[in-house]
Structure 1
Amino acid sequence: MNNLENNRHYISWPVLALMAFVTVIGFDDIIYNFKNQGMGVITSWILMLFLYVIPYSLMVGQLGSIFNKEGGGLSSWIRGTNGEFLGYFTAWTYWAASIPYVVDTANSVVIGLGWAIKGSGKFQDTMSNGQFALWTLLVFVVFITIQSRFKRSLELLSSIGGIAMFGMTVLFVIMAFASLKMGGHIATQPMNLSAIIPKFDLKYLTTLGLLIYAVNGCELIAPFVTKMKNPRHEFPKSMLMLVVMTAFLTIFGSFSLGIFFDAHHLPNDLKMNGSYYAFQALGQQYHVGNLFMYLFAWTEVTYLAALLAVLLDAMTRMLISDTGKKYMPLFLRKTNQAGLPINGYLLTCLLSGFILFLGIFLPEMNDVFNWLLNLNGIISPGVTCWIFYAFMRVRKNPEEYPSEYVFIKNDKLAWWAGFWALAITIVATVFGIAPQDVAEFSAIWWHELIINIVAIIVLVGSGAILPLITKREKKYGSAFSKVQCFAMILFTITALVLSVIVGSTKLAERNLVVAGVVACGVIAVWLVGRRKP
């Protein structure tokens, strides 16, 4: 036994910190929040790191240590503390939260290709919203097709791309500061203490969700906590290293953006094209043209393309394999000869197409991109709430959940720390529903508010429908007949085609179309549900 223990391969704390870092922050996250808060985001990052990221990551460490035999997944944490059904529903919401993310990633692939090939944003400027949606759907089809054949190489490629992306971000920060010594000037003026203090108002609260979206994902490294030689002492070191790296990237990265962009007058399309603008400005400062921009664009495309292919496979397999037979319909658990859950992929494409359908009626492609991004700032923090809820349950009954690593020895104090993180995340989720990047209470504002609510209801509510479908399967032998399946597929195709046709109509007419299609969908589901297969 001692020999086996000596030969066991342990993960060192610096390696775990690097693994966590890749899942937590990226250059685009800095751009998005810089657009929302300007230079004031520097203070927000500091507050977020000390009041949220540190306790969040340490809570994840304890949960991962407790449920290490179940793989340390979020759904297993909830299943272990609250029962089977809530565990299933957590798995569903975690999967549903990935839908806007993969759609946003597919959009970013299309935009990145435009910059990598054209060297500017002209490619997407010439497209209508309908064409943008069709390109995005094409990206989905391509990567769902190829991921099964090249999965291992794409996973390796995504890891290499992630490290390269981190390297490009560090390069940008270092060269931005170096440019000041070469006679460069800071675009944001005045650059003083008041410039980095955000205005704490209602608009600020609506941007918290995107901050949390930027720093969450730490739960993905939870299964590796028990693979450390001494988790009690080494895991806090990993999280401290993670916080230091994140602080460097967010604080100095935001300041570097203030060197090239006037934080008081930012481009309207900064969230969509800001990363490319930044490296373009860096190249101009060093008199190398678009060299840095092209390097970043191809790095971005390579990383996002590989990440998208892996995500489309991993998220579908995770949902189907993690929820079991009790709540997941048989037709979704079916696999082909290659072991691929084809119907699960179709469900992913269906809900992704629905999200695209909601956004296609916005005035411009930049509005579509911003809306999809902000939707992530609602759904993703909402799912993160499960983490803190599970932690509070664990610390309320600590004797039932022994752990090698414990965050805060005092159970009452630990419970209140979990409640603090949960309350902040709920506030960010609720206020995140209010639209951003558009004039308050304008027609577009109300339109985005409606589709935000519709998207949340459909993505989360679909998880409550699947157990009912499973009951139909058990009762009738199959959930739907071939005629019913054909009717639903026909409805889906009709809705997508209709969205492209009316994409150029006025906003009021688009709202009516959205409401009509959603109403027809609800009626169709109700009618199908009432009839035997």
Structure 2
Amino acid sequence: MMAFVTVIGFEDIMYNFKNQGMGVITSWIIMMFLYVIPYALMVGQLGSVFNDEGGGLSSWIRGTNGEFLGYFTAWTYWAASIPYVVDSAQSVIVGFGWAFTGSSDFQSNMPNSTFTLLTFIVFIIFIFVQRHLANSMEILSTIGGFAMFAMTVLFVFMSIVGLIKSGGHMATQPMNIKTLLPKFDLKYLTTIGLLIYAVNGAELVAPYVTQMKKPKVEFPKAMITLALMTTFLTIFGSFSLGIFFDANNLPNDLKMNGDYYAFQALGQQYGVGNLFMYIYAWTSVIYMCALLAVLLDAMTRMLISDTGKEYMPAFLRKKNTDGLPINGYILTCTLSGFIMLLGIFLPEMNDIFNWLLNLNGIISPGVTCWIFYAFMRIRKNPEKYPSEYIFIKNDKVAYIVGLLLLLVTGAATLLGIAPQDVEIYSGTWWYELVINIVAIFFLIGLGTLLPLIRKREEEYGIAFDKKQWVIMITTTIFAVVVMVWLGGTDLNTKVALVVAVAVFSILFLWLIGHRKPITLNIKK
């Protein structure tokens, strides 16, 4: 159940329904048998091999490829969570809007700048909240996760019952085999990444393997159960959405507000008004708030504590008297703020939400590639990595299956860079393409710089002197002010500005990396 609430949720079903309509049912079936089940079973074998390790994915890579790649895996996994926590913070605001107003008017009438500011304020609040209520938030996230699961199952069950009572009338027409088949075109290929994003995450529970009574046997069984539950919910959940929404004419804001629209329609069908919607809204708010607090704390601690001193700069590993990595929190908030700033120039708040969601569909599948790579490594050397549970007895066949899933996931990651939910080749499309590339470059590229910064610390005693810090901070603030000041200009200017800032940042980091600090300590 812990794995289930991290892998699939009602909103995941909604996102992909928006992308593919009723054809997503066929996509889910294909995904379940050709991707999710083998993926879950591979995670099962990796968890069985490294059942004494508590780090999950980074421990698997470290155990098969050494310390540096283990560090870089931990970094990319952490970087991939940045868009996710920003998305969660935005979902908190959307949830509060529905919980208090009962409609989408709160979000619809909000300027992008206000939405971004509120999102950042939510970040700051929960940095403080988790410090004092970390354990309570973990409990609330578990309760909220189970409640979210219950609401999803309730929606599926009541939708089908309502369909039977209404004589089988569905909003999606016609309802036939052709309707259930997706269009395998370029647009479809760009949405595969979001399908993978919706069903990955099983590896998050790997650190809990050691807490099971018989981990080598029970963990693989848990993964099989997870795959079956996910299959049931995605297929029947998508079908239930077709009862209330015309898949041929979906609302533009379905990804942001669709789950609330769905429960609103369910309540109207049963004559209870907005009752189900309000229950779901508060369930979502509680879950998202708790999840955000835990994520902000856990992801930072995991990165700082799960990487060796050889690669992580000392100033990031610095902790206060309460044992909290304060500078790590600052880094998290800074990168989150950068991601939010990139999206502030999009036309509407709905565009910001969709873009950020689609960014998750690029970065998250990219990180999933590490799982298949680790699986290939253990199957290439089975004697070195014995396991009580084995997925596919033949090592060569297993290796080929792992390679195929790696290639498919890698291709989905690259194709996902193409913007979605906007008119192709429009100004907004080109802008989203640019900020997708910039976001990926900064989130992943920074991970390659940290070991170099750590090397400077070891060589000079400090990474940067005060003058260099002042120059970097001043330059960053200047770039932000210029970007905000030009926020009302045309998209071409924004694209040029983002590219200029990206190029300048690369050159600046290169130059600053080759300058010795003015105040040198004795070389150690």
1:428 equivalenced with 2:412 (yes/no): yes
Q: For structure 2, which runs of at least 5 residues remain unmatched after alignment?
A: 518-524
Q: Aligned in 2, Cα 1:64/1:239: closer, same or farther, shift over 3 Å?
A: closer
Aligned to 1:176: 159
Match for 2:352: what amino acid?
V
Aligned to 1:267: 251
Aligned to 1:163: 146
Indicate which of 392, 395, 399 corresponds to 1:415: 399
Deviation per CA, 1:7-53, whole angstroms, max 9, x where unpaired?
A: xxxxxxxxxxx222111100000000000000000011111111111
Supply the distance in 2 between the matched residues of 1:479 and 1:238 (Cα, whole angstroms): 45
Match for 1:175: what amino acid?
M
Q: Aligned in 2, Cα 1:225/1:58: closer, same or farther, shift over 3 Å?
A: farther
Aligned to 1:47: 30
1:239 equivalenced with 2:248 (yes/no): no
Indicate which of 85, 104, 109 corresponds to 1:102: 85
Supply the distance in 1 between the matched residues of 2:52 and 2:214 (Cα, whole angstroms): 18
Shift, 1:358, TM fit: 1.2
Aligned to 2:336: 352
Shift, 1:497, TM fit: 3.8
Deviation per CA, 1:71-93, whole angstroms, max 9, x where unpaired?
A: 15111111111111111111110
SS of equivalent residue, structure 1 residue 238: helix
Residues 400-479 of structure 1: pairs in structure 2 closer than 5 A: 400-479=384-463
Aligned to 1:5: none
Indicate which of 309, 332, 338 corresponds to 2:293: 309
Aligned to 1:27: 10
Supply the distance in 2 between the matched residues of 1:194 and 1:253 (Cα, whole angstroms): 19
Contact 2:137 2:290 in 1 (8 A): yes
Supply the distance in 2 between the matched residues of 1:142 and 1:361 (Cα, whole angstroms): 25
Indicate which of 61, 65, 70 corresponds to 2:48: 65
Aligned to 2:136: 153
1:191 equivalenced with 2:188 (yes/no): no
Match for 1:113: what amino acid?
F
Supply the distance in 2 between the matched residues of 1:276 and 1:244 (Cα, whole angstroms): 26
Range that drifts further, 362-371 or 489-498: 489-498
Shift, 1:145, TM fit: 1.2
Contact 1:206 1:431 in 2 (8 A): yes
Supply the distance in 2 between the matched residues of 1:229 and 1:330 (Cα, whole angstroms): 38
Contact 1:65 1:222 in 2 (8 A): no
Range that drifts further, 390-399 or 473-482: 473-482
Q: Aligned in 2, Cα 1:70/1:296: closer, same or farther, shift over 3 Å?
A: same
Contact 1:130 1:500 in 2 (8 A): no
SS of equivalent residue, structure 2 residue 320: coil
Q: Aligned in 2, Cα 1:123/1:54: closer, same or farther, shift over 3 Å?
A: same
Supply the distance in 1 between the matched residues of 2:158 and 2:477 (Cα, whole angstroms): 49
Indicate which of 283, 291, 303 corresponds to 1:319: 303
Shift, 1:515, TM fit: 2.5
Q: Aligned in 2, Cα 1:496/1:135: closer, same or farther, shift over 3 Å?
A: farther
Indicate which of 292, 296, 300 corresponds to 2:280: 296
Q: For structure 1, which runs of at least 5 residues remain unmatched after alignment?
A: 1-17
SS of equivalent residue, structure 1 residue 199: coil
Supply the distance in 2 between the matched residues of 1:295 and 1:492 (Cα, whole angstroms): 43
Indicate which of 89, 102, 111 corresponds to 1:119: 102
TM-score using structure 2 length: 0.95
Aligned to 2:317: 333
Shift, 1:102, TM fit: 0.6
Indicate which of 307, 330, 350 corresponds to 1:366: 350
Taking every aligned residue pair, what percent have the same amino acid on both sides? 70
Aligned to 1:502: 486
Supply the distance in 2 between the matched residues of 1:528 and 1:236 (Cα, whole angstroms): 48
Supply the distance in 2 between the matched residues of 1:331 and 1:98 (Cα, whole angstroms): 22
Deviation per CA, 1:456-494, whole angstroms, max 9, x where unpaired?
A: 111111000001100111111111112322332333333
Match for 1:186: what amino acid?
M
Q: Aligned in 2, Cα 1:481/1:233: closer, same or farther, shift over 3 Å?
A: closer
What is the Cα-based RMSD across aligned positions, in Å?
Answer: 1.5
Match for 1:35: what amino acid?
K
Contact 1:130 1:499 in 2 (8 A): no
Supply the distance in 2 between the matched residues of 1:150 and 1:234 (Cα, whole angstroms): 32
Contact 1:363 1:507 in 2 (8 A): no
Indicate which of 21, 33, 43 corresponds to 1:38: 21
Deviation per CA, 1:402-422, whole angstroms, max 9, x where unpaired?
A: 122211121111111111211
Contact 1:382 1:426 in 2 (8 A): yes
Deviation per CA, 1:361-389, whole angstroms, max 9, x where unpaired?
A: 11111111111000100100000000000
Shift, 1:503, TM fit: 2.6
Shift, 1:294, TM fit: 0.8
Aligned to 2:522: none
